[in-house]
A and B are shown apart, each in its own frame.
Chain A
Amino acid sequence: MYRYDPHDMAIVQQRAAQFRGQVKRRLDGEISEDEFKPLRLQNGLYMQLHAYMLRVAIPYGLLSSAQVRQLAHIARTYDKGYAHFTTRQNVQFNWPRLEDVPSILDDLAAVEMHAIQTSGNCVRNITSDPFAGVAGDEIADPRPYCEILRQWSTFHPEFAFLPRKFKIAVTGAKRDRAAVAFHDIGLRIVEAAGGGIAFQVIVGGGLGRTPMVGPVIREELPERDLLSYVEAILRVYNRYGRRDNKFKARIKILVDAMGTEAFAAEVEAEWREIQDGGLVLDPGEVDRVRRHFTAPDYLDLPEDPSVLEAPTLMDPDFRRWVAGNVMPHRRPGYRSVVLSLKNGELPPGDATHHQLDAVADLADEYGFGEIVVTHRQNLVFPDVEVRRLHGLWQKLHRLGFATPNVDKLTDIISCPGLDYCTLANARSIPIAQAINRRLDDLDTLFDVGELHLNISGCINACGHHHIGHIGILGINKAGEEYYQLMVGGSNSDDASLATVLGRAFSADDIVGAVETVLRTYLTLREHEDERFLDATRRLGLEPFKEALYGTHP
C-alpha cells in the first residue's frame, strides 16, 4: 500500500498541530463558533445530534493492520469503544470530545491517516473497488490512479471552495463494484482500442435530492491525460456550478442543465488549453506510485478447491460462508474474504475496539496485513490461502463477523440516521435491525438470493436507498418518522434508480411492507435463480403495489 514520504508526513503533522491551536482558541473563548466551524469542518469534525463526530479518510478503503489497531486505540481511548464504517469507505467516531480531537489527529498522523477533506466543498476521499488488486476481472489496478488523484486533489488551491462537495470513484475491473455511475466523476479503466489502457469518463452521477445516473462524456481518455482532463472538468464545474442554491450546486445539476454534449464540449475546450501543461502524467511517476501496490509475497500454490471438500470441512455453516463470503482471487490458491459487519445485532458498519484489534491480528495472521473497507460497510481480507479458510472462518465466527450474508437480504446498508445525524428525518439503524430479525428466517427458508437492501434516514441518501434493489427512505410526516419503500435500483453495470411504490409506511409497518414485497417476489419469480432485481424489471411495479396497497396506492 502507499506509504507516506516525508512531505506527506509533514503535511498531516502540521495540520494536526495547526488544529490543536485552533481548538485551544475555541475552548479559551478567543474565537466564536462561526469562526471555528469552517476550521473544524476542514478537519472532518462535525456537530451531530448528541456529540461531535470525526470522519477519518480511508483512501480507496485500504487500511493496514497497524492503522486498524490505531482506530481501535482511538475508539477505546477517546470515544465510546466503537467506530462506524461508512458507505464512502471512511470511518467515523461518534463521541469525541473537542479537546481530544487534536490528540486523535496526532495518533492518526502517526499511522499515516488524517481527516483532511472529509467535509466541505472540496474533492472528498477517492473510492474504489474493494477487490482492487486481486480481482480476477481486473484490467488494471485502479489504486495507483486513486493515489495519484488523491495527491493531486489534496489541498488543491483552486478546488478548495467548489460549489459543493465532489466525489470521485475509480474502478479497474470489468464489473463495476465501485458504483462509478453515481459519482461526480466515475472513472473506468478500459482496454484502449490501440492497446494499453484508457479511462472511460463518467460525469454527473449522484444520489441525494436529485439522483442521476451519470453519462459518459469520454469513452477513452489516455492515461497521460488523466489529471489534466479531471482538472478541466473541475474547472468547468467551478466556473458554471450553481453557487446560489445549495440544492442545485452539485455537478449533476450542471451537466443535466447544460446537456451532456454541451458540458463535454466545455470540458474539451478547457482541456485543450491545459492538456500539454504540467499535469501530463509521466509514466515514470505512474510507475513510482504503482510500486507501492505491487503484489505481496504470494506462495506458489496450486488452484485446488478440493481442499475445501475434505470430510472435516462439511460443516453446513462453513459451506454457506464459503459460498457467500469468499470471493475469487486472481492468484491460484488464494481467495478474498468478506467480513460481514451485519450480524443483526450490531448497527450496520459498526465495530467495537475489541473487534478492530482482532481484525488487525487476523489480517496479519491470515493475510499480508491489509484490510479493505467496502461501500456496503463490510471489511475485506484481500489475500487468504484457500487451505486456511476454515481456520479463519472459525475465528471470524467467534468474532461475530462470519454471517454468511454478503450481497444478501440482511447485508443491509444503513446510514447512521436519526440516532446520530442532524440532517436525518428518521432512524435507519433500528429499521435495519428489525428487518434483520424478522426476515433472516425468510431468507434461510426460501433462499432469496442476491438482494441489496439500502436504508437512508433522509433525502441526502448516505444509505444509497436509490440504488438498492429495495430502498427505504426515512421521511418526516408531521414530526413523526415514516418510510418510503422503493424497488429496482442497481449500483453496478446495469445502473438504475429505484422507483417509489406508493405512500409511506410508519415505523411499525415498514418491516411488514418489506416482507410483503419479498413474498410477492417469491411467489412470482420464474425460477429460483431469477434475482429480485431481474424479477422487478420483468414484472414492473404493479404486482408489488397491488400486494402492498390493494386498490388504494
Chain B
Amino acid sequence: MPGFVISANRVHDGSVVYLDPERRWTSRLAAAATVPAKDQDALIAWARTQEALVCDPHAIKVRDGDDGPEPVDTKQRIRAAGPEATLESLGFLRAATPTAPVHRAEVEA
C-alpha cells in the first residue's frame, strides 16, 4: 500500500529508525507501519515527544516492496540500506580491536 513511514535518527548513535505499528522505534524498515498521508502530522507530533530517544522525525513516502514498505526516493532507499561503498563491504577491514590512546606524556616526550 503506498503511504508514509515515520522515520528519525536515534540520539545515542544517530542510526536510522522507523516507527512500527505499536509506536516503538525499529531499525527494520520492513517492520515499520505504513500510514496514510492524513495521519502523518499527528504521528510526527507524537514522535517529537520522544526526543530523548530520537531526533528529526519526518515522514518518508513509500510503496509496497517485496519485503514490506520501500522508499520511493533514492535518498531514503540509501538511508535505509546504508552506504554502498564502505570499507567493510569492500573487505578492507578486519575486526577492529579497541586500543589505548596516545597519551599526552608520549607527545611531550
Contact = CB atoms under 8 A, between A and B. Distances in A.
B74 A27 contact: no
A426 B74 CA distance: 8
Question: Which among B55, B86, B92, B102 has the greatest number of chain A C-beta atoms within 10 A?
Answer: B102
Contacts of A98: 11-14
B38 interface: no
Contact of A50 (B14, B72, B97, B99): B14
Contact of A97 (B13, B73, B74, B103): B13
B104 to A, nearest CB: 5
Contacts of B101: 70, 73-74, 77, 106-107, 110
Given A47-B9, A51-B14, A418-B75, A352 B82 contact: no
A9 to B, nearest CB: 8
B99 A70 contact: no
Contact of A430 (B73, B84, B94): B84
A426 B106 CA distance: 43
A171 interface: no
A76 B13 contact: no
Contact of B102 (A66, A424, A429): A66
B102 A69 contact: yes
Most chain B CB within a 10 A radius of its CB, from A51, A112, A346: A51
A154 to B, nearest CB: 20
Interface stretch (A474-482, A485-493, A509-517): A474-482
Contacts of B51: 29, 32-33
Contacts of B15: 50-51
A346 B85 CA distance: 8
Contact of A352 (B16, B92, B103): B92
Given A70-B101, A70-B102, A419-B83, A49 B11 contact: no
Interface in A346-387: 346-347, 350, 352-354
B12 A345 contact: no
B88 A80 contact: yes
B96 A75 contact: yes
Nearest to A79: B96
A111 B104 CA distance: 6
Contacts of A106: 101
B87 A346 contact: yes
A427 B78 CA distance: 9
A81 B96 CA distance: 6
Contact of A433 (B85, B94, B103, B106): B85
A50 B83 contact: yes
Chain B interface residue number, banded = 35 or more
B83 A420 contact: yes
A347 B94 CA distance: 17
A429 B85 CA distance: 7
Contacts of B14: 47-48, 50-52, 97-98
B66 to A, nearest CB: 19
A393 interface: no
Interface in B1-56: 9, 11-16, 51-52, 55-56
Given A80-B87, A419-B83, A479-B74, A47 B102 contact: no
Interface string A57-84: 0000000101001100111110011100
A480 B104 CA distance: 49
B84 A99 contact: no
A248 interface: no
A408 interface: no
Interface in B55-109: 55-56, 72-75, 78-79, 82-88, 90, 92-94, 96-104, 106-107
B90 A346 contact: yes
Contacts of B82: 50
B9 to A, nearest CB: 6
B14 to A, nearest CB: 4
Given A33-B51, A49-B78, 8 more contacts: A51-B13, A69-B102, A70-B101, A76-B99, A77-B101, A350-B87, A429-B84, A479-B74
15 contacts: A50-B83, A70-B102, A76-B97, A80-B87, A98-B13, A99-B12, A110-B104, A111-B104, A345-B90, A346-B92, A347-B85, A352-B93, A429-B83, A476-B75, A479-B75
Interface of A: 26-27, 29, 32-33, 47-52, 64, 66, 69-70, 73-77, 80-82, 97-99, 106-107, 110-112, 345-347, 350, 352-354, 418-420, 424-427, 429-430, 433, 476, 479-481
